Amino acid sequence: MSHRIAVLSNVNLNFVIRMLKKELGAAEPESLVYETAGYGNELGTLLDATSSYEAFRPDITFLIMDLMEVLDHDLSASSDRIERWFSMLEGALHEERLYYISDAFLWGPELEVMQDTDCRKQSEDRWQECLRNLSRERSNVRILPYRRIIEEIGAENAFSFKMWYMGRILHTNEAQKRMVELLLQTIRLQERIPKKVLLLDLDNTLWGGLAGEADHSPVVLSQEHTGLMYKNLQRVITQMQRQGVLLGIVSKNNEKDAMDIIASHPHMVLRPEDFVCKKINWRTKPENIAEIAKELNLGMDSFVFWDDNPAERELVKAALPQVTVPDFPDKPEELPDAMIRIYRQYFEQAAITGEDRQKTRQYAENARRNILKAQAVDFASYLRQLAMEIIRERPEANLERLTQLVNKTNQFNLTTKRYEQSHMQKLLHDTGKGIYLYRVKDCFGDNGIVAAVIVDLAGTAPAIDTFVMSCRVMGRNIENAIVDDIEKELYEEGCLSLQAQYLPTAKNKPVETLFEKLGYTVIQTMETGGKLYEINLADRPEREYYAEWHT
Amino acid sequence: MKEKIIALMEEVLQLPSGTVSESTRMEDLEEWDSLAHVMLIGELETRLSISIPLDEAVEITSVQEIFEKAGLK
């Protein structure tokens, strides 16, 4: 994948740009980095339609701003200046481009003697607030965690007066290197498909020692020493869970011993409801993981497995090569850091959507639905018991989720066409395209927006260009309802037939014969195994589904 | 100290170890331009506490001169 990157700043970051070019050139030779004309005129550069920046047409622009320079050392009117900066910035943003804007760290010589420390905090807070608001309103504006770099190495190691006086270079080599790392990491986030589930062992992983070993030697998990290392590890994992990472337990223990600790140990941060699945038994771990994959309806490549026992890790690697198995640190004090690295490497996403925050609840509900499925006498009565509701959602209001669905769905995906958010944005306004988006609710809760269809209306007959559905609602005949809905609408608009395609990939085998089942006729078979279909809209088959339509 | 200075230069200029020597001059290295020079002078101060006054720093054109300014003869 190639990118066009621009880094703009109000201080001299030319050395950062030089390093970034070198690093990115080695990793992605196709990518280009904008050679800035100077610095300090970031808003002018963004606003000027004739600038070399504009001609470069970057797809990602990083704005790394020194707050003190934005304020021009005048802290008395900081709020006004910050608001003005953001309102001008907003006017310069392109919808189809991505922007990362640095958060605030105020630094300057006068702060060393400033007695009123509130003043500094107020300025930083105001910047953060404006930035947070903008990133909420604009899905293409994101926050670059610049402040974290300064805090990690300390201001005294991050800034240099000498370089500032010589060439308005504010940051030391150490800080600049870390900025380059952050930029590269952020660029890579755009292309990596994140993992979904973190599977955890218990003994010597989430706590020290063995559960149920002896009453007089409780597990190591506390507010101090080694116990605190495990507690901090759990804090990191809990935060990951809140940001959409699903958690599971795969552990060899007596279930009661383990659950007693998870439910009632005073220093457990993670609790039973934080896990979407718990396999606490004496079977092999690959068996348990395979069962979890089935229950959650996820591919093996969605899982990361973490266990202190090297033998268990090797067994999982050998039996389930698609499962990611990171190394385990030797010392417990390294546990929280190791987990932070796992998060950044495998789970971190370019943006967190509301859907992500709801994930654990939705997957847990799904596991309950699968239990209901096993109890129901036949499939139709199961679907009836689910009492599903389908709601058509406005694609314009859910661009981010729409893009996410289209780009992340692998199994129920008929053509596996990917559209970047900027492209999707254009499709929304294209009269030659019809975009349909559906939410599904049932007796257990709201599944969220789970299906999207793009119909190409430009040809002689309309054709389904893209049809994706989240795996968490697969196998519930929802596709019947959705296709009915679209066909009905097109027929009412005067269309007589509808075409569709299936293009095979390594993953979409489950929908290979979907259109046959929906009553479509194959009109062409391609060498690649792909098929072209058509249906006469005046003569649509009766399809069974058990869902109510709601608006 | 001389080795430390050379290692720091190679790090800042992103050059493989062994590229910079006591006889290296600014014109020998493409990477050692005025921008990199500012970074070098700054890093000498931050990391090795070698403080070269600004007006003298801009005159420097060789490793030998850096050693002299650092008091290493």
In this predicted model, what pLDDT tens digit does every residue of A323-367 receive, in sequence order?
Answer: 999 999 999 999 999 999 899 889 887 666 666 666 777 777 777
| Residue B45 sits at the chain A interface (C-beta within 8 Å) | yes
Amino acid at site A524: Q
> What CATH number does domain A384-550 carry, 3.80.10.10, 1.20.120.530, 3.40.630.30, 3.40.47.10?
3.40.630.30
Sheet with strand A98-102: strands edge to edge = A32-33, A4-9, A60-64, A98-102, A141-144
Cβ-based contacts of B36 with chain A (< 8 Å): 15
**Per-residue pLDDT for A377 more than 60?**
no
Residue A350 is predicted with a pLDDT of 64
| Residue B12 sits at the chain A interface (C-beta within 8 Å) | yes
Mean pLDDT, chain A, whole residue set: 89
Residue A378 is predicted with a pLDDT of 65
Q: Which residues contact A517 (CB under 8 A, 6 or more apart)?
A: none
> What CATH number does domain A197-347 carry, 3.30.70.1140, 3.30.930.10, 3.40.50.1000, 3.40.30.10?
3.40.50.1000
Count Cβ atoms below 10 Å from residue B72 Cβ, excluding itself: 13
The segment(s) of chain A belonging to CATH 3.40.630.30 are 384-550
Q: Which of A103-117, A379-393, A424-438 has the lowest mean pLDDT?
A: A379-393
Percent of chain A as helix, strand, coil, to the nearest 5 = 45, 20, 35
Contact between chains at A160 and B46 (C-beta distance less than 8 A): yes
Provide the residue range defining the domain that includes B54.
2-69
The segment(s) of chain A belonging to CATH 3.40.50.1110 are 5-189
Q: How many residues does chain B have?
A: 73
Residue range A480-489: mean pLDDT, rounded:
95
The segment(s) of chain A belonging to CATH 3.40.50.1000 are 197-347
> What CATH number does domain A5-189 carry, 3.40.50.2300, 3.40.50.1110, 3.40.190.10, 3.40.225.10?
3.40.50.1110
Residue range A189-200: mean pLDDT, rounded:
87
Q: Which residues pair with A4 in a beta bridge?
A: A32
Distance CA(A454)–CA(A428), nearest Å, equals 10
| Residue A165 sits at the chain B interface (C-beta within 8 Å) | yes
Tell me, yes or no, if the pTM score tops 0.80.
no
Q: Which of B13, B14, B38 is the best residue to mutate to test the A interface, defined by the most A CB atoms within 10 Å of its own CB?
A: B38
First to last CA, chain B: 11
| Residue B46 sits at the chain A interface (C-beta within 8 Å) | yes
Model confidence pLDDT, tens digit, residues A237-275: 999 999 889 999 999 988 988 999 999 999 999 999 999
Q: Which two tokens stand for residue B32?
A: 């050692």
Contact between chains at A163 and B14 (C-beta distance less than 8 A): no
Number of domains in chain B: 1
Three-state DSSP class for residue B24: coil
Distance CA(B21)–CA(B38), nearest Å, equals 19
Distance CA(A451)–CA(A457), nearest Å, equals 19
Give how far A32 is from chain B: nearest CA, Å: 20
Q: Which CATH number do you get for residue B57? A: 1.10.1200.10
Q: Confirm if A198 and A248 have CB atoms less than 8 A apart.
A: yes
- When CB atoms are compared, the residue of A22, A166, A172 closest to B14 is A22
Task: Give the nearest chain B residue to A19 (CA atoms).
Answer: B14
Distance CA(A239)–CA(A243), nearest Å, equals 6
Q: Which of A279-283, A294-298, A452-456, B4-8 has the lowest mean pLDDT?
A: A294-298
Three-state DSSP class for residue B65: helix
